[in-house]
Chain A
Amino acid sequence: MKWVLWREYRLNRLIRIVGAVLMLLPYVFVLIGLVAAHWMSERPAIGAPSPPNPVLFVGGAALYSMALSLLTLTLLAGNAFAGERADRSAEYLAYLPLSRLRRLAAKLLLTLGTMVSIWGFNILVLLVLYFILLATPSAAPSVKPDDVLIPLGLFALSGLIMFSVAWLVSSLQSSPTFAVAAGLIAPWLLALALQGAAFLFDPEEFGFIVVIGYAVAALLLAVACFSTGTWYYLRRVEP
């Protein structure tokens, strides 16, 4: 299994590099912003406002970083099976005594490992910021837990949809681009469909229908797409 995992790890090197860049990019922007704000605040002639609270900025970067990680997740899922068919390495693997289950387990482990790394890092940042705010209540702006938890929940649900749809489409055909595109579009289509349904059936409960509907539909869609994609990949004989 070690070599199968190694192959999967190495095969997705470019996606992992993109993932790392996307993870760090918001922090780089925040750092540049804070340095610029500090520089301007030391020059009253410019008339710049007082420097912003860095805790808030870094917290925002963590959330952006997690939002961008959904692209990495979709790229990994979309490339999982279709990528091997596109470069025809699936044909080579088909003649080796390597079970589909092992290959699938390696793909899932890699995806899980990547996401745990990115989200783990960002959640750690958020926790550190939370404790900083607790320690310095005077400096704490009025940030409520929901300001962080709601976006996190939305990212998690959207991530589930993006991953599972890309996973399914990847298992069915041989174009990673198509699979990734399907994964990226899926949450938007679902949100649009729910908004349409809310307007049509009960405009007064619009917000409730969209939020609860999105959560329920996302979970159902994720389970259905992931199960179907996995089942199809495992039972398919052709590479």
Chain B
Amino acid sequence: MTTTTDTKPAIELLGLTKRFGRTTAVDDLSLRVAPGSTFGLIGPNGAGKTTTIKMLMGVLTPTLGLARALGIDAEVEPLTLKQRVGYVPEAHHMDRWMRVREVVAFCRSLYVSWNEDTCREMLDRFELDESKKVKQLSKGMLVKLSLVLAVSHEPELLVLDEPMAGLDPLAREEFLDGVLRTICERGQTVLFSTHSLDDVQRLADTVGILHGGRLLVHRNIEELLATTKRLRATLTNGRVPDRLPDNLIWQRVEGREWLVTVGEFTEETAQRLRAEEGVGHVEVIDLGLEDLFKDFIRGQRAVS
């Protein structure tokens, strides 16, 4: 379930739990993200993505467990952590009365390291008018400004919390292009949470699926897609076999058709299914990330 590396992880969550009264937003979450990798955290609304990121960034105290970024516990050294991490939020609450150049100057004054060339280059590339006030910027421009501010101090870790929500396709493309350039040029570790599975497939090396505050899966995307398959079987007697396939993620029966999504798929899995009594034709279907995500979530909902 968890990708392990010998190197010191860029992000390390150990038994991270957050409860708000009786509601558990994040439940015993453990995760390690290797340095230099791009990790996509996906999950439905209310899955606990933002809460996890807030705990990682030290703006929310965990009920239990530990969150470390770059080996720093945000509860112990929040300022050291924030010096080394760039963050782009979903909603942008920077002072609306400030001009773009004032926001940039304000942020520049707070960081020990600030690469003015990077900042200038990105402002130019995004065509951000520095004389404009923040309140005059469109959502797309705001996201771009956030990215400029998040990467200009050359952070070792870039955290993007659903930054592309509500962006038009063009703004989205320009933003992603900016993120991709950052990743390619600097080799930073990137954590981004999103609803867009296309973006995950485009950017991420590894993906984590979060549901109900629990991490359902954390793997390399290519491996995950290669080993997770949907099987379409015909049930000759209309009944599901007693012995279900191993690593079952989700299943559905419609008449005589049985759809089963399984993890760690091998040819043997299909053969074993064909050998079951009452199972006729078995077809193996490749899944895209979107179908895979849906099956993981539907499987969990069925269980709960």
Contact = CB atoms under 8 A, between A and B. Distances in A.
Interface of B: 57-61, 75, 79, 82-83, 87, 89, 91-98, 105-107, 109-111
Given A3-B105, A7-B106, A96-B82, A237 B60 contact: yes
B60 A89 contact: no
A124 interface: no
B61 to A, nearest CB: 5
Contact of B106 (A3, A90, A239): A3
A89 B82 contact: no
Contact of A94 (B59, B61, B105, B109): B59
Nearest 6 A-B pairs (CB), nearest first? A97-B82, A3-B109, A88-B93, A92-B93, A94-B59, A95-B87
A81 to B, nearest CB: 15
Contacts of A91: 59, 89, 91, 93
A14 to B, nearest CB: 10
Nearest to B75: A237
Given A95-B87, A98-B79, A239-B59, 15 more contacts: A3-B106, A87-B96, A89-B94, A91-B89, A92-B92, A92-B94, A94-B59, A95-B57, A96-B107, A96-B110, A237-B59, A237-B61, A237-B75, A238-B60, A238-B61
Nearest to A99: B79
A87 B79 CA distance: 23
Given A3-B106, A96-B110, A97-B79, A237 B93 contact: no
Contacts of B92: 92
A7 B106 CA distance: 8
Most buried by B among A4, A11, A97, A239: A97
Given A95-B82, A95-B87, A97-B79, A7 B61 contact: no
A10 B92 CA distance: 19
Contacts of B79: 97-99
B89 A89 contact: no
Contacts of A237: 58-61, 75
Contacts of A90: 93
B109 A87 contact: no
- Dominant secondary structure at the A interface: helix
A4 B110 CA distance: 9
Contacts of A239: 59
A144 interface: no
Nearest to A2: B109
B244 to A, nearest CB: 45
28 contacts: A2-B109, A3-B106, A6-B106, A7-B95, A7-B98, A10-B98, A11-B97, A87-B95, A88-B93, A89-B93, A89-B94, A89-B95, A90-B93, A91-B89, A91-B91, A94-B59, A95-B59, A95-B87, A95-B89, A96-B110, A97-B82, A97-B110, A99-B79, A237-B59, A237-B60, A237-B61, A238-B59, A238-B60
B93 A98 contact: no
B110 A98 contact: yes
Interface in A1-22: 2-4, 6-7, 10-11
A236 to B, nearest CB: 10
Contacts of B82: 95-97
A10 B103 CA distance: 13
Most buried by B among A6, A87, A89, A96: A96
Contacts of B91: 88, 91
Contacts of B61: 237-238
A87 B94 CA distance: 9
A185 B94 CA distance: 33
A10 B97 CA distance: 9
Nearest to A96: B110
Contacts of B59: 91, 94-95, 237-239
B98 to A, nearest CB: 8
A7 B95 CA distance: 9
A10 B105 CA distance: 14
A97 B95 contact: no
A10 B99 CA distance: 12
Nearest to A95: B87
Nearest to A11: B95
Nearest to A92: B93
A3 B95 CA distance: 13
A98 B92 CA distance: 17
Contacts of B110: 3, 96-98
B204 to A, nearest CB: 22
Contacts of A3: 105-106, 109-110
